[in-house]
Amino acid sequence: MSHVPKTLLALVLSLAVLAGAQSAQAATTKIAVGVGDQSPNMFASPVYKALKMKKTRYFIPWNAASSSFELQRADNFMKAAKAAKVKVLLHISTDNFESKKAKLPSVSDYKKKVKTLITRYKKLGVKEFGAWNEANHASQPTYRSPKRAAEFFVAMRSICSGCTIVALDVLDQSGVATYIKKFYAAVPSSKRKYAKIIGIHNYSDVNRARSTGTSTIIKAVKKADVIDTDFWLTETGALISFGSNFPCSESRAAKRMAYMFTLAKKFRSDITRLYSYNWQGTDCTNRFDAGLVHPDGSPRPAYDAFLKGAKSFTR
């Protein structure tokens, strides 16, 4: 065997290491992944810690400032997240999830109540806010008023200096393109450039193994807007059970969880974040169950699929 000079050998090894690092970097999908939930218990879970998450999402009633109960719940979550060094996206939402029953706040009431929340939770390190959660769904009072959703976004900008704001947050349901068009029409042209982040809830796509809803939302935003927009999957995930369309099945959910990551990769040129919802399951005792763990905290098959899928995504 011929003698190889040490300097040449060192160069070859260095190039091999560099090629390996570049290959690993290329394999990483640059979409930051997090898990959303409503309970601070998530942060203490060993299996949650194993995920090494740095982002989470919490939704809060728009008028929570008038409820000591809601404030205490949110305080507990924000403090636990801060202690765990996990950044929170705090999304404003309805105070009544019953379909078509919630009262639509006035802009002045929104500004007054939401400003109190922003002031309170900025002190706990929250810098990212959503103007209104799932605005086009019938459980939200904005479902018939894309104009008011636009007004809420403009209002949040005026009361949330230095904040990162999800301007519009929509579900991948029928009529979403029209809702998006009307939303942008209601945003003053001078404010349009600040609507830089759009939230997507694509449960239908993920759990039916398709991509049409996600594609429709992205195309509608690009058609209505003139700036480069980041899309965040602010709420997505695999349904263990949801009504009669999705009877309880952990095996199906695990497959759909794997597909969630496949779908995100398909739109990686547009999507920059993904928040799976949620952490704590109910073993199908509630109408909606998409938890990654059982009520006793033990991981479901969907957790394993999440852990595997998230490995090739950023944090």
Give me the CATH number covering residue 76: 3.20.20.80
Q: Is there a domain that residue 300 lies in?
A: yes
The model's pTM is 0.91
Q: How far apart are CA 13 and CA 150, in angstroms?
A: 56
Alpha helices in the chain (DSSP H): 6-27, 46-49, 68-83, 107-122, 146-159, 176-186, 203-207, 212-224, 250-266, 301-310
Q: Is there a domain that residue 132 lies in?
A: yes
Residues 6+ apart with CB under 8 A from 295: 280, 281, 282, 283
**CA distances to 9, 61, 64, 92, 262 from 54, in Å:** 40, 24, 25, 21, 21
At how many degrees (to 10) do helices 301-310 and 250-266 cross? 20
Model pLDDT, residue 27 = 75
Compute the chain's Rg from CA coordinates: 21
Give yes or no for a contact between 277 and 237, defined as CB atoms under 8 angstroms apart. Answer: yes
Residues lower than pLDDT 70 in the chain: 1-26, 226
Alpha-carbon dihedral 311, 230, 176, 181, rounded to 10 degrees: -170
Q: How far apart are CA 171 and CA 204, in angstroms?
A: 9
Q: Is there a domain that residue 6 lies in?
A: no
Model pLDDT, residue 178 = 98
Q: Is there a domain that residue 138 lies in?
A: yes
Number of domains in the chain: 1
Q: Is there a domain that residue 142 lies in?
A: yes
**Residues comprising the chain, all counted:** 315
Residues 6+ apart with CB under 8 A from 220: 176, 177, 180, 181
Q: Is there a domain that residue 16 lies in?
A: no
Model pLDDT, residue 3 = 53
Model pLDDT, residue 23 = 46
Q: Report the alpha-carbon angle 148-144-210, nearest 5.
A: 110
Two structure tokens written together for 27: 């394999």
Residue-number span of the structural domain to which 280 is assigned: 27-314
Two structure tokens written together for 215: 């594609």
The closest of 32, 180, 145, 165 to 92, measured between CA atoms, is: 165
Q: How many CB atoms within 10 Å of residue 280?
A: 18
